[in-house]
Structure 1
Amino acid sequence: MPAISRFYFMTAICFLTAGIVLGLKMGSTHDYAAVGAHAHINLLGWVTMSIFGIYHALNPSGASSRLAKLQAYIYVPGVLVMAIGLYLLLTGTQAAEPVVAVASLAVFVGVLMFGAIIYRTKTA
């Protein structure tokens, strides 16, 4: 398995754990204000990063590219900062809005880069 696949799987499981912890907190306190952050953590963190890991495991030629590493360096911190900022924003910290906006753009750029990886990777 390429190193980037392992990186994505390890990162994805961290986001899944965070998503579950946040879900448990919301459920136990009956405060669902952060449900949007919970959804983003699980979808962009757990699900999407798992898909990235699977893709790279199945297509090691794309996994070894500089673009793949750069994409990970942009996407993963983008999701992390966006998730934290979104949690803060949804729970009342309005000052987090520009942080969420910038991090969302980083996530979008990371998705576009992953699309470029897919189109550039030669498959058998």
Structure 2
Amino acid sequence: MQKIGIRLIKISVVYFMIGISLGYYMSIAHQYTLTGVHFHINLLGWTALTLAGLIYYLFPALANNKLGFWHFWLHNLGLPVMMLSLTGMLLTGNSAWTAGVATGATLVIIAVFLFAINVLLHVNEQNSRFS
């Protein structure tokens, strides 16, 4: 799991490409129905995962425990479920997609809390790449 930081940074770049492409499409088509999807992909995919990846890289001890493992998997399972469901809901107007949005969002928030707990418990000067 030590390479979790690098993996998160690479995954975040994929989200960046998706988010930017979606924003580009919306601008050209003058169709902004998916603005919420665009926003969440860029914030929770590109920005949050890039920052988490950098933190995992700078503090390797964060990646070597179950909190890091579960953060990685819950975030990366929850975000696509949430975004695909939100896309379906916004495009079709069908509220049946709400369960997918709620499930994905719940996985992501759990992941974020696990990451925060991991940082609070394990970030210190002794386990940094700077020491």
TM range (shorter): over 0.9
Which residue in the other structure is 1:10 paired with? 10
- Matched AA of 2:34: A
Query: Equivalences for 1:2-81 in 2 at 5 Å?
Result: 2-81=2-81
Question: Given the two structures, how large is their TM-score scaled by the length of structure 1?
Answer: 0.94
CA distance in 2, matches of 1:78, 1:25: 24
Give the count of matched residue pairs.
123
- Structure 2 unpaired stretches of 5+: 126-131
CA distance in 2, matches of 1:106, 1:34: 21
Which residue in the other structure is 2:111 paired with? 110
Q: Describe the SS at the equivalent of 1:24.
A: helix
CA deviations over 1:9-33 (Å, ceiling 9, x no partner): 1110000000011111111111100
Q: Describe the SS at the equivalent of 2:92.
A: coil
CA distance in 2, matches of 1:22, 1:89: 16
CA distance in 1, matches of 2:93, 2:12: 26
Which has the higher Rg, Structure 1 or Structure 2?
2
CA distance in 2, matches of 1:87, 1:24: 16
Moved over 6 A (4+): none
Q: What's the offset of the Cα at 1:122?
A: 4.3
Q: What's the offset of the Cα at 1:69?
A: 1.1
CA deviations over 1:35-87 (Å, ceiling 9, x no partner): 00000000000000001001111111112212201111111111111111111
CA distance in 2, matches of 1:52, 1:103: 19
Q: Describe the SS at the equivalent of 1:91.
A: helix
Q: What's the offset of the Cα at 1:93?
A: 4.4
Q: Describe the SS at the equivalent of 2:11.
A: helix
Kindly report the root-mean-square deviation, in angstroms, between the aligned alpha carbons of the 2 structures.
1.1
